[in-house]
Structure 1
């Protein structure tokens, strides 16, 4: 049965290839790209790791910031500059805002509830509108006290157990988003809500990995039974779907119980449920709130871990940047206090460090691809309907014309002659958080939570390279683990309070 399905799929691919080749003879040319083989196209050329670097190299070799690839009949457009990405995904957003079909994740693992992954349509619009109501810049300020409190607890965890800093960063991210989304106060190390979300996110990363499952290329395979030889992906999907279900239901149920008991903390869920109207199906509205709250965790956790880990790595390599930031903080923040959000405008170099950490080793080098719903013409090139649209965010943020010495960590690139953030330097968040109608609606909250954590760490800790048992400096590798959300390879660091007063302040703030 499986072999028949595969043969049928191959026949369909051949027919589709021949049809496309014949029908496209008199149409506008496709963007340039590596030479394609019959039927399989560029299948054998496709990189399997650090894809963004290969795409950037191809673009430079072809002298084009837009190239076309084809994999077994699927059209792929690589956008290698901010100009191309913005013109196609922003200005032509009406036809380039869909998502590619995600068979494993959406259809088998149950992630079709997430508006970040779902197809462009009415449900996507409804969930995005619900999210934006609570997280536009002014509304997001309501959650700053929570972000501050969680950051103080994070500093205390680092003080108590600095070697497990990655675990503490992950706990910080989880505490922040669970508090904002559900009003849940995370205290325990083995918190059930955190555990449920981490299992779900881990399985999502495995399920969405490019090329990991044949069912993405041959969707008909999703219909074979679980017991069939070679159908282990079906059994994995069933188990992983359980994780995504628990992640959606467990914290939402707890939030509703707190609301009904009158003990709820302000949160996205409480605010949204207060606004339910009788003009629509209440059950459907509640389901939408539940799905949107779960989506928040999906986008926030890994990105926070990546950026703050990168910041620590950058401080090891650039002690002079750390010293300059600490001097700035000491000149602005009163002794015995920690930075506040109200200090941000007077701490431009700290803000520049955050921006540079996000640019230098950006979290999602290729973002989440868009998909075209209809054909487009751009620069005289034809963008076929159904194309997978891939913005090479890594290439955009490492463009040497925009960011000289792009592989160096240089926060000062964002500082103008007046000592303030230079508005003439393109802000990395114009690419980091996506494009067009798919731009991340939680970007303001994400930046603020990362800013307060980094500013607070700089205020109280010296971040240095550790020494081994022989007194020799332990150098990090500065290598990264390629993934949908890239993180540094494990490295050691030393985190010590800058002064005895800093030590005392960390302890007292954590108890407030």
Structure 2
């Protein structure tokens, strides 16, 4: 046979083999995809046709309902459906770690919402923006001032500002909530904007409080029907429908919080009397910023001061309540402080490593009444379904980590409803994990300011314990926490 025949036959063989191999791979992909679609969804409450579970989504204390569903269906992963939108609830440390940490590349996006995102404007916030270049820019800006080395540079200011709290508690101890809020505001706003808080009615304090209240309402799935029926956003404002009225109020609060503090720093820089701050450093880095630069700088400075205000206030309010109802724990911490520091000076950050029981109280405060019982929702990659433990997680699912469920899991934290600082350093409690792992978010969406917040809480707690006795409750009943995503001990 001629050589060309063998070459042609070999070429045809390669083409046929290659085509066969291609179709084999295609068949495997089809089979795998079909298998994935045949996989069951995680268990969950039965819904109604078309609307699913839209009518049963809890708007208050959703973390408790999620826990009840988890027990009812015998699963730490729960599936809900609301008008075709899949919602996945993660009620265990294992499921949160497996999906939000180990598969963070798939689960680090944020779900888009019509109410909070489009109508109010939070869609551009670093906390709610989708993954992409802009989100990475925000993370880089925050890392410049919130890496461990830079956080340590703020400690002298933290030790100085604590005097505001000491003075307030000495003069009017019953108004401790107002003193805590003023102290936290004085610290955070000076770092973020070089703003010196002058009085209890400071505009920054009121604005940060209102922003946190708004976000707590906006981010609960099911609170607004327009998030499921997006066409409702086209209803004219003049109709007076409730969600449109609320959106207008929320948007005005957001715009004031974005623009007014930023403009204040800009004017101070122009006048030459601006104090060093995070916002000043943003403004000064570019002489002629683009519109996009300005938008990013405004959002970065906004999140810096709003995220750190009410969350720290909530933690310290929980600490005061915990000490009031656990006097023996308070005495034990005070004895440790007296033994390590004595009475000749006030506590400082250098004392932290020598105060393990105070550190344990801080951890238990984080655990027992977490500031954010459920994390800000994540979103699964929109391109394909995921498979987890034999379940199908539909693409574009809203994924909610129920941190409260983890922090009250009896397998992780024995006697989970008791205030037990001993659980973190006594032999019989060695397996109790540090609750800070579940208090500041997950994966690529973890809070960049957690080190600064934790430092603030520590120096506050140790100073209060060293200088004051926190008496028992006078009302006879423990105050109830607010039912929102950012929980606060109410003032009355």
In 2 relative to 1, CA 156–345 (structure 1 residues): closer, same or farther, beyond 3 Å?
same
Which residue of 405, 412, 435 corresponds with 1:395? 405
The answer for the alignment partner of 1:70 in structure 2 is 81
Which is higher, the Rg of structure 1 or of structure 2? 2
Aligned ranges for residues 429-508 of structure 1 at < 5 Å? 429-465=436-472, 467=474, 474-490=475-491
Higher mean Cα deviation, 347-356 or 52-61?
Answer: 52-61
The answer for the alignment partner of 2:357 in structure 1 is 349
The answer for the alignment partner of 1:502 in structure 2 is none
Distance 1:70 1:127 in 2: 32
Aligned ranges for residues 408-447 of structure 1 at < 5 Å? 408-416=418-426, 425-447=432-454
Q: Are the equivalent residues in 1 in contact too, given 2:360–2:424 (CA < 8 A)?
A: yes
Kindly state the Cα deviation for residue 24 of structure 1 after the two structures are TM-superposed: 9.2
Kindly state the Cα deviation for residue 416 of structure 1 after the two structures are TM-superposed: 4.2
1:214-269 CA distance string (max 9 Å, x none): 222212111222112x4243233223322211112222222233334443333212
Distance 1:43 1:219 in 2: 14
The answer for the alignment partner of 1:289 in structure 2 is 297
Aligned ranges for residues 70-469 of structure 1 at < 5 Å? 70-228=81-239, 230-276=240-286, 282-374=290-382, 375-416=385-426, 425-465=432-472, 467=474
1:65-111 CA distance string (max 9 Å, x none): 11211122110111111111011011111121111222222212222
Q: If each structure's helix is expressed as a fraction of its own residues, which one has the higher value?
A: 2
Kindly state the Cα deviation for residue 447 of structure 1 after the two structures are TM-superposed: 0.7
Distance 1:262 1:142 in 2: 24
Q: Are the equivalent residues in 1 in contact too, given 2:190–2:196 (CA < 8 A)?
A: yes
In 2 relative to 1, CA 186–275 (structure 1 residues): closer, same or farther, beyond 3 Å?
same
1:328-386 CA distance string (max 9 Å, x none): 11122242421111111111111111110010011111111111123211112111011
Unaligned runs of 5+ in 1: 1-22, 468-473, 492-512
3-state SS of 2:338 partner: helix
Count of paired positions: 457
Kindly state the Cα deviation for residue 417 of structure 1 after the two structures are TM-superposed: 5.3
Kindly state the Cα deviation for residue 152 of structure 1 after the two structures are TM-superposed: 1.3
Kindly state the Cα deviation for residue 458 of structure 1 after the two structures are TM-superposed: 0.7
**TM-score in terms of structure 1 length:** 0.84
1:170-227 CA distance string (max 9 Å, x none): 2222222211111111122222222333333333334444433322221211122211
Q: Are the equivalent residues in 2 in contact too, given 1:30–1:381 (CA < 8 A)?
A: yes
In 2 relative to 1, CA 240–342 (structure 1 residues): closer, same or farther, beyond 3 Å?
same
Q: Are the equivalent residues in 2 in contact too, given 1:248–1:294 (CA < 8 A)?
A: yes
3-state SS of 1:152 partner: helix
Kindly state the Cα deviation for residue 161 of structure 1 after the two structures are TM-superposed: 1.9
Q: Are the equivalent residues in 1 in contact too, given 2:217–2:484 (CA < 8 A)?
A: no
Q: Are the equivalent residues in 2 in contact too, given 1:146–1:179 (CA < 8 A)?
A: no
1:267-322 CA distance string (max 9 Å, x none): 212334454498xx555334322211101223222211211111111111110110
Unaligned runs of 5+ in 2: 1-33
3-state SS of 1:227 partner: helix
Kindly state the Cα deviation for residue 159 of structure 1 after the two structures are TM-superposed: 1.8
The answer for the alignment partner of 1:35 in structure 2 is 46
1:425-452 CA distance string (max 9 Å, x none): 3111111111111111111111111111
